[in-house]
Structure 1
Amino acid sequence: MTRVGTCLWYESEGLEAATFYTSLLPNSEITRIDRADPDKPPILVQFTLMGTPYAALSPGEAATHSHAASITVEVDTQEEIDRLWQAMLDNGGEEVECGWIKDRWGISWQIFPAKLPEMMFHGDRDGGQRAYQAMLGMKKLDLAALEVAYDGKEIAQ
């Protein structure tokens, strides 16, 4: 059987990262832990996030992560955006912009409402541009503010 997945590189904290990630999302679990030495951290941790396979590789040397690759999480509600965002911050994450946040290991995540791509690319073109411009001014995305921008209304002060 052929499988496709994503491998993320950590110096030594792959198990810790996988444990944190799987605690955030339903239908997520650690599926395998491989150690070369029982007294050392695992070299490879396989896990799923909402059924999507990932691996955390911890070879003992640092690697530089880039926002050129990110984990995307599409959610339905502002409450879910807020919950995930705060969990990342509480665990040492760093806000970036436009719904992007880096976790404490430097992995970039995009946490965005499911409605956003529909607004920006498949609905009213002018509304999509307004939603896009509103998004550019945000760090954590605000679904209500994006909807107001899309509809062309002023945000109540």
Structure 2
Amino acid sequence: MQKITPSLWFNNNAEEAISFYTTIFKNSTVTGQAYYGENSPMPAGTLLTATFQLDGQEFIAINAGPQFPFTEAVSFTVYCENQQEVDHYWDKLLEGGGKESQCGWLKDKFGLSWQIVPTIMPKLLTDKDKQKAGRAMQAMMKMVKLDIATLEKAFNGN
């Protein structure tokens, strides 16, 4: 069991969300489920909570109504080794009604915010050469989905 597990509050669509996320990320599975019983705020048999893993990271889903919707104040970053991986997560997380933002940010159809980031990005932005890092930052600021080749060209002054 991991020491800290993020809990996600869903508006009565936790089962759909879990199914969506576990098809996108490798090594994902549902590890436990609890259901509302009789005389509960939801119909008996409705999912109450579930634990699930996305690529080995454990999460808890709570199916409890509209009181606490997602905001950008909490988000998840997905680090990607190459452009193919960036494209995969970007496209999959947008399926079904997600919305693009900028600088690699998107909201999925459940309203959860994600940033899809190439693993090279921190290296480019923290390079000792401030001009190179600045060019990479300026290129990123103009992007919606991050493009590794364009970021590297900007970094190298091409």
TM-score by length of 1: 0.90
Residue 28 of structure 1: aligned partner: 28
* Percent pairwise identity: 37
Does the aligned pair in 2 maintain the 1:10–1:62 contact within 8 Å?
A: no
| Contact 1:73 1:110 survives alignment (8 Å) | yes
Q: Are 1:35 and 1:42, in contact at CA under 8 Å, matched by a contact in 2?
A: yes
Q: Distance in 2 between matches of 1:2 and 1:151?
A: 40
Match of 1:49 among 49, 54, 67: 54
- 1:62-77 map, 5 Å: 62-77=67-82
1:1-150 pair list within 5 angstroms: 3-37=3-37, 39-150=44-155
- 1:15 and 1:122 map into 2 onto residues whose CA distance is 43
Query: What number of residue pairs does the alignment pair up?
Result: 153
Partner of 2:40: none
**TM-score, normalisation: structure 2:** 0.89
Please state how far the C-alpha of 1:103 moved relative to its aligned partner.
Answer: 0.6
Q: CA RMSD in A?
A: 1.7
Please list every run of 5 or more consecutive structure 1 residues that lacks an aligned counterpart in the other structure.
Answer: none
Q: Where does structure 2 lack aligned partners over 5 or more consecutive residues?
A: 38-42
Q: Is the 8 A contact 1:13 1:41 kept in 2?
A: no
